[in-house]
Amino acid sequence: MNPEVSIIIPAHNTANYIARAIESALGQTLTNLEVIVVDDASSDSTLEVINSFVDSRLKVLVNQKNLGVSGARNQALKEAQGKWIAVLDSDDWYAPDRLEKLLQVATAENADIVIDDLHFIQSGDTSPWSTLLRQSGEQIHTPCQINAPYFVATGIYGQPGLHLGLSKPIIKREFLLKHEIQYDENMQVVEDFHLLLQCLVKEAYLIFVPQAYYFYLSRPGSLVTQSKVRHINQFIVSLNYFLQQDIVQSNSKLVHSLSKSLAVLEKNRAYYSVVEPLKQKRVLTALFEFIRNPYFLVHFISQLKLILKRRFRYYVLGDKLVYEISYRNNS
C-alpha cells in the first residue's frame, strides 16, 4: 500500500539541525507516510546524522555533486509514492499533528494544495517570536481559498503582506504529475513561490489554514542577507516567466499583480545595486551602478521615510520581521 504522504527533505550541511527535522517527520500522528531525505553533497556530518535513524519509512538519497535545493527536491519527487507531497526544509520542523490537521482540511475542501501559517523562531530560542499571519496584518480566521492574483499581490518584495511564497505546502502528487510541474532548478531562492504560482496558474485549488503547524528557523547563513540583488534578480526572472505565458495574459488581475510586483522589484534592484557594494566598500562598483541607475536618488528619497520607519520598528520596537523574513538560500 502506498503511503498517504511523502515528506521530502533536501539537506546540505545542516548536521546541527537535520535530526530535529527527521524526528518531527517520523513522529507525525499520521503514520502512513514516507520520509525522503536527499543529502545534497554535504561536506559536514549531515549524512552520518541521517543514517543514524532506523525506520523503514525513511529513504535516503545521496548526491555526489551539489544540485541545490530545487534539484534535490526534484530527485525526491521522482522517488515519492505518496498521494500527497509535503515539503520540509532540513533546519525546520513540524508540529506533531501538522499533517493530520492539514489533510483533514484537504479532504473537507477537496483541495489540491493546503498551506498553513508559519511559526518564526530564532536559532537558540525555545519558542517562536511570531507567525507569518500575525506579522502580515491580514485578518484571516478560518481556512480560505487563495487565488493567483492575491498570492502575488500579498507577496510584493519589501512590503507588508502574507508572503505565502515562504510557506511549505502539501500538494497532491497527482496534480503535479498531470501538469508536469516540478521545481525550477535555476531557482535557489524563490523556488517555493515559483512552484506555487505555477500550480495556481494551472487552477490549483489552494486552501490557506490560519493555524501554524510549521516551525521556520532563522539561523546564521540560512537567510539571503548576503545579496539582496541576487534575491531580487531571481524574483524578477520568475515574474517575467509568468508574464510571458498566454494563460497568464488572459487573467487581467494576475497581470496587474505581477506588473505591480515587478515594478517594485526593479526599483529595489536599482537601489540595492548601489547600496550593497557601498556596504562592502566596493566604491567603484557602487559609482558605476549609480551612474547606470539615474533614478537611484529619486528612489532613495522616496523610500527614506520607509527606511527610517523600518529601522525604528526593528531597533526600537523589536520587530524582527522587517529585515529577517526573506527567502532562504537553501543551496
User: What value does the mean pLDDT take over residues 219-241?
Assistant: 77
The residue among 45, 67, 91 that closes a domain is: 91
Cell 514516507, residue located: 34
220 located within any domain: no
Type of residue at 20: R
Overall domain count for the chain: 2
Percent of all residues in the chain with a pLDDT value above 90, rounded to a whole number:
70
Instruction: Name the residue type at position 277.
Output: P
Structural domain contains residue 130: no
Tell me the pLDDT band of 302, cut-offs 50, 70 and 90: low
User: What is the model's pLDDT at position 137?
Assistant: 86
Beta-bridge mates of residue 113: 171, 206
Average pLDDT, the chain: 88
Q: Evaluate whether residue 288 is within a structural domain.
A: yes
pLDDT tens sequence across 168-208: 999 999 999 999 999 999 988 899 999 999 999 999 999 99
Mean pLDDT of all residues in 120-134: 90
Q: Mind listing the pLDDT tens digit for each residue in 81-110?
A: 999 999 999 999 999 999 999 999 999 999
- Full 3-state SS string of 89-103: CCCCEECCCHHHHHH
276: pLDDT strictly greater than 90: no
Domain final position from 73, 91, 109: 91
Domain assignment present for 111: no
Question: What are residue 99's DSSP bridge partners?
Answer: none
Residue 40 pLDDT: 97
pLDDT beyond 50 at 223: no
Per-residue confidence (pLDDT) for residue 225, from 0 to 100:
43
Q: What is the CATH number of the domain that holds 81?
A: 3.90.550.10
Query: Would you say residue 82 lies in a domain?
Result: yes
Name the domain boundary from 26, 56, 91. 91
Q: Is the pLDDT of residue 317 over 90?
A: no
Which grid coordinates belong to 179?
501538469
When mean pLDDT is compared over 93-107, 216-230, 272-286, the highest value belongs to 93-107
Give percent of the chain above pLDDT 70: 81
14-49: per-residue pLDDT in tens? 999 999 999 999 999 999 999 999 999 999 999 999
Report if residue 253 sits inside a domain: yes
Q: Name the pTM for this structure.
A: 0.88
In a domain, 121, yes or no: no
pLDDT band at 220 (very low <50, low <70, confident <90, very high): low
Domain of 237 in residue numbering reads as 228-324
In sign, the C-alpha dihedral spanning 277, 278, 281, 285 is: positive
Distance between CA atoms of residues 260 and 254, nearest Å: 10
DSSP string covering 248-277, please? HHT-HHHHHHHHHHHHHHHHHHHHHHHHHH
SS3 140: coil
Q: Tell whether 266 is covered by a domain.
A: yes
